[in-house]
């Protein structure tokens, strides 16, 4: 009976969370679900620089209401305090740009600044300019997770290079 009370959006999200693709990323240690209470998903994404061996992790909050019609709203997150932390002070230019503070509406944090993120997609018509990076309803949640993993991997590589210098 509980299944009948779930929305199509919730069922779709939970199907993707249980999919082989999503679970493979978790088993490989790329991401871990810290908390899930529909429509909010909190994850920790971890990557290791293949050359320097430096590991980095970031926590993110994904708000997945109306999924997959709308891509998730994604922001840097602190699971312990249940709040958005300041962006990292030191990182690569790409990571700094993605995690910077920006507002999609006055007084409202816009989330991660990438074409696949719900609010950033509309900013300056970014999704139209970069359809290869934009969320589409036929994409899988792992598309977002792999993009988050790429950001964390870039940060790990930057940490390895900066500590070697």
Interval 71-86: pLDDT, tens: 999 999 999 999 999 9
Q: pLDDT-derived band of residue 68, with 50, 70 and 90 as boundaries?
A: very high
Q: Cα separation of 60 and 144, whole Å? A: 11
Q: Choose between 76 and 2: higher pLDDT.
A: 76
**Average pLDDT rounded to a whole number, residues 89-99:** 95
CA 141 – CA 20 distance, rounded (Å): 12
Residue 50's pLDDT band, with cuts at 50, 70 and 90, is confident
CATH number of the domain to which 81 belongs: 3.10.110.10
In a domain, residue 15? The reply is: yes
Residue 118 lies in a domain: yes
Whether residue 74 lies inside any domain: the answer is yes
75 with 61: CB under 8 angstroms? yes
Mean pLDDT of 130-136: 95
Distances (CA, A) of 77 to 11, 15, 48, 50, 81: 24, 24, 20, 25, 9
Does 120 fall in a domain? yes
pLDDT at 4: 75
Q: What is the predicted pLDDT for the residue at 35?
A: 99
In a domain, 3, yes or no: no
Domain that holds residue 147: 8-164
C-alpha of 76 from chain center: 8
Residue 134 domain-assigned (yes or no): yes
Is the residue at 1 inside a domain? no
Asked if residue 2 belongs to a domain, the reply is no
The structural domain count of the chain equals 1
């Amino acid at each position: 009976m509980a299944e009948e009370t779930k929305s199509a959006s919730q069922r779709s999200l939970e199907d993707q969370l249980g999919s082989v693709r999503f679970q493979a990323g978790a088993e490989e240690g790329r991401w871990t679900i810290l908390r899930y209470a529909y429509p909010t998903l909190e994850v920790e994404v971890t990557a290791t620089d293949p050359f320097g061996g430096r590991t980095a992790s970031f926590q993110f909050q994904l708000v997945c209401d109306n999924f997959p019609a709308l891509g998730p709203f994604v922001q840097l997150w602190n699971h312990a305090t249940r709040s958005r932390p300041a962006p990292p002070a030191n990182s690569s230019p790409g990571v700094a740009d993605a995690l910077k503070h920006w507002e999609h509406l006055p007084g409202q944090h816009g989330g991660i600044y990438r074409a696949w993120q719900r609010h950033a997609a509309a900013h300056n018509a970014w999704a139209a300019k970069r359809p290869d990076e934009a969320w589409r309803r036929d994409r899988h949640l792992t598309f977002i997770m792999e993009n988050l993993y790429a950001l964390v991997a870039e940060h790990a590589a930057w940490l390895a290079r900066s500590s070697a210098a």
